[in-house]
Structure 1
Amino acid sequence: MSIEADPPAGAATPAADGTETPAATGAPLVVAEHLTRVFGRGSTAVRAVDDVSFELRRGEITTVVGESGSGKSTLARMLLKLLPVSSGRLVFDGADVTGRTDTTAYWRQVQAVFQDPFSAFNQFFTVRRLLARSRRLLGAELTEQRMLDALEQVGLPAGDVLGRYPHQLSGGQRQRVMIARALLMRPSLLIADEATSMLDASLRATILNVLTDLRDRAGLTILFITHDIGQACYVSDQVLVLSQGRLVEAGPAERVIFDPRHDYTRKLLADVPRLHDAG
C-alpha cells in the first residue's frame, strides 16, 4: 500500500517512466548524461549500463539500488574512472571529465570504499602504516593530526587503533578505517560500493550512521550502492533504481520507498524482511 502525501514546495515532477528531476538547489556536484558501458562487440556485446542519466546533489546521499547484475558496480567504476565510458557524458564540479586521463588529481576529489574490508588490508600493516600510504598522493599534507582527525570523523579512538593490526579489529572497525583512509584526501565525493554487505546487522547500522554523520556534519556528497533497498530507506536523500543496466525509477527517497511507480521497485520492496514475517 502506498502512502499519499502532498508534495512539498519545489518538489520534483515525475516523468512518465517514474524518474524525476529534483528541484534546483544549486549546481549539482555530478551530472551524468546518457552514460553507457558496453562489454564485448557485435552479437556478444553486453550493455552493462544503458543510457543512464542522473545528478548527484551536493551534501546529499544518493543511493543506487538493484539486484546483482543490475549495473550498480559498473556505474560506480565509471564514476571512479576505473572503466571508460562507452558513450555519454560525465560532468564533475562543472567540468566535463568524460575523457579525463589525469586520474591522480581526480582521485583526490573522488574516493571509494568497497565491499570487503578484510581484503583491503595488508595483514602485516598497522592502521598507522595503512593510512600513511596516502602520503604518495598527499606528500607533506599528510600529518599525524590529519590521520587523527579522519579516524575521529568515523568514530574511532585513534589511540586505540593506530597501532593495531587487521586481526585485532572487528569488521566494522576495519570498514571505518577504510572510510577514514578515503577521508584523508578530503574528497568532494565518496562512493561506497556495497560497503555494508559483508557485515552483520548491528555493524551495518554503525557504518550507515557514519555515512549520514559525514553528510550532516561535513556536508560530504555520497553515492551509496547497495542491493538492499531497506538500507536505501535508512540513509538516502535520493534513490536511483537500476535493473539490467537501465534506470527504471529515480526520485526523493521517501517517494520512491513509499510510493514506488515501477514494478521492479515494488519487487525490491516486497523482498525486504518485515517483523511480522519472523516467527
Structure 2
Amino acid sequence: MKQEILLRVENLNKVFTIGSIFSRVRIRAVNNVNFEIGNSEIFTLAGESGSGKTTVAKIILGFLEPTSGKILYKGKDISELQKDRAKDLLRKEVQAVFQNPFETFNPLRRVSNYLMETVKNFGISERPEEVIESALNLVGLTWNEVKDKYPSEFSGGQLQRISIARSLLTNPTLLVADEPVSMVDASLRMSIVNLFKDLKEKRGVSVLYITHDLATAYYVSDRIAIMFRGEIVEIGSVEKVLMDPKHPYTMLLKESIPEPDPKKKWTKDIKILTLEEEEYQMKGCKFISRCPYRMEKCKNPVPDVEVDDRLVKCYLYT
C-alpha cells in the first residue's frame, strides 16, 4: 500500500545576495530541491556544513521565504497556511528542535516558564503540569528536575532533551530536527535518536532529521537525501544510499567515516571540501572539480537518473 504523503517539497529554490551594492554576488543556497516525507517516516537531509540543509528547514518552518518553488503540507501550500487562521494549527502540528539548546532558552528565564507557556498558549490542557510531566518522561526527565531552574543549571544534553520535550507538548505530526545531536556527548546521542524512533513507531510522528552525522542517519532513517552545494545529489532508502552509494560525493562521504577496526586504516587523504562561491554558480555538476569521474558534459545541467531504486544526479548513469 502506498504511503500517504505528509510533506512535499517541489522545485524549491533560495537565492541570497551578498556583497556591496557595487559587487553583489547571488548565491543559490537551495537549487531545485524536491523530496517528500510520508506519515510516520524519518527522512534525513545529510551533507556537509553549507550544503543548504538548514536553509531548507528554515523555509519549511516559515523563517525564510523561498525564491521559488513550494512546500505542501497535507496537500496544502504551506505559505497560504501561514497566512490565514490555519497558522496556529500549523504551528501546533509542525514543531522544531534546533542545534544549540542554549540559544533556544533565554538564560534569564526559568526553563519551566517556557513549558508552561507552551501548554497555555495552545490551550492544550487545564492541568499543564501533568502534560509537561508526561512529555518530560518521554525524554528521561521529570517535572521536579526542571521546575524553577534556569538554563545554566542544566547540561547541554539535558537542555536539548527539554527542548525536545517542549516540542512534543503540542502533540506534533512533523518534527523538524536540525542537527539535534551535534552538541551532546556520544552517550546521549543514541538516547535522542532512539526517542525519534519511538515517536515514529508509537505516536506516528514524522521526522525531518537534518545532520552531517551519517552514522546516526543510518541508524534512525527510513530514507535519506544527500545534499551538496544546495542540491540533492542522491536520494533513496538509507540502506541503499549509504551502503551502496552511487554519486561520487556520497562515496566520498562514506569513505570519510572512520571505522573502529585497526585493519581498515585510511589509505589516502580525504580532502576537506571548502566553500567556494563559483561552485554555487555552476550550471552543471557542482562536484566536478573534485570528481574522479568527471566528463566534459558534466559542465551542463545534470538530470536526475533512477539507479537501483534511488535518484542520482550524475551523468555516470545516463
**Does TM-score exceed 0.5, indicating one fold?**
yes
**Structure 1 residue 177 corresponds to structure 2 residue 167:** no
Shift of 1:128: 2.0
Q: Deviations over 1:200-250 (max 9, x none)?
A: 211222211221121121111000101111221111011010000001001
Pick aligned residue for 1:67 from 30, 43, 48: 48
Partner amino acid for 1:229? L
Shift of 1:182: 0.6
CA distance in structure 1 between the aligned counterparts of 2:124 and 2:164, rounded to whole angstroms: 21
In structure 2, the residue matched to 1:127 is 111
Shift of 1:259: 0.9
CA distance in structure 2 between the aligned counterparts of 1:179 and 1:206, rounded to whole angstroms: 12
CA distance in structure 1 between the aligned counterparts of 2:213 and 2:50, rounded to whole angstroms: 14
In structure 1, the residue matched to 2:182 is 197
**Structure 1 residue 51 corresponds to structure 2 residue 32:** yes
In structure 2, the residue matched to 1:16 is none
CA distance in structure 2 between the aligned counterparts of 1:273 and 1:176, rounded to whole angstroms: 28
Pick aligned residue for 2:8 from 28, 31, 37: 31
Shift of 1:256: 0.8
CA distance in structure 2 between the aligned counterparts of 1:186 and 1:25, rounded to whole angstroms: 25
What TM-score, normalized to structure 2? 0.75
CA distance in structure 1 between the aligned counterparts of 2:80 and 2:101, rounded to whole angstroms: 30
Q: Report which of the two structures shows the higher radius of gyration computed on alpha carbons.
A: 2
**Structure 1 residue 89 corresponds to structure 2 residue 66:** no
Shift of 1:91: 0.7
* Count of residues in correspondence between the two structures: 256
CA distance in structure 2 between the aligned counterparts of 1:159 and 1:217, rounded to whole angstroms: 26
CA distance in structure 1 between the aligned counterparts of 2:147 and 2:250, rounded to whole angstroms: 42
Cα pair 2:6 2:36 within 8 Å, conserved: yes
**Structure 1 residue 260 corresponds to structure 2 residue 237:** no
Cα pair 2:124 2:170 within 8 Å, conserved: no
* Helix, strand or coil at the partner of 2:102: coil
Which residues of structure 1 form unaligned runs of 5+? 1-23
In structure 2, the residue matched to 1:10 is none
CA distance in structure 1 between the aligned counterparts of 2:223 and 2:3, rounded to whole angstroms: 16
Pick aligned residue for 1:139 from 111, 120, 123: 123
Cα pair 2:44 2:208 within 8 Å, conserved: yes
**Structure 1 residue 106 corresponds to structure 2 residue 87:** no
Shift of 1:100: 4.0
The answer to which structure, 1 or 2, has the higher relative contact order (CA under 8 A, 6+ apart) is 1
Shift of 1:181: 0.6
CA distance in structure 1 between the aligned counterparts of 2:62 and 2:203, rounded to whole angstroms: 24
Taking every aligned residue pair, what percent have the same amino acid on both sides?
40
CA distance in structure 2 between the aligned counterparts of 1:208 and 1:255, rounded to whole angstroms: 20
How large is the RMSD of aligned CA atoms in angstroms?
2.1
In structure 2, the residue matched to 1:223 is 208
Shift of 1:106: 2.0
Question: Alpha carbons of 1:206 and 1:245: their partners in 2 closer, same or farther (altered >3 Å)?
Answer: same
Partner amino acid for 2:215? G
Cα pair 2:119 2:169 within 8 Å, conserved: no
CA distance in structure 1 between the aligned counterparts of 2:35 and 2:188, rounded to whole angstroms: 30
Partner amino acid for 1:211? F
Shift of 1:167: 2.7
Question: Alpha carbons of 1:118 and 1:94: their partners in 2 closer, same or farther (altered >3 Å)?
Answer: same
CA distance in structure 1 between the aligned counterparts of 2:194 and 2:6, rounded to whole angstroms: 23
* Helix, strand or coil at the partner of 1:276: coil
Which residues of structure 2 form unaligned runs of 5+? 266-318
In structure 2, the residue matched to 1:4 is none
Shift of 1:90: 1.0
Q: Deviations over 1:118-174 (max 9, x none)?
A: 222222433321201214631363622211111122222333333433233222111
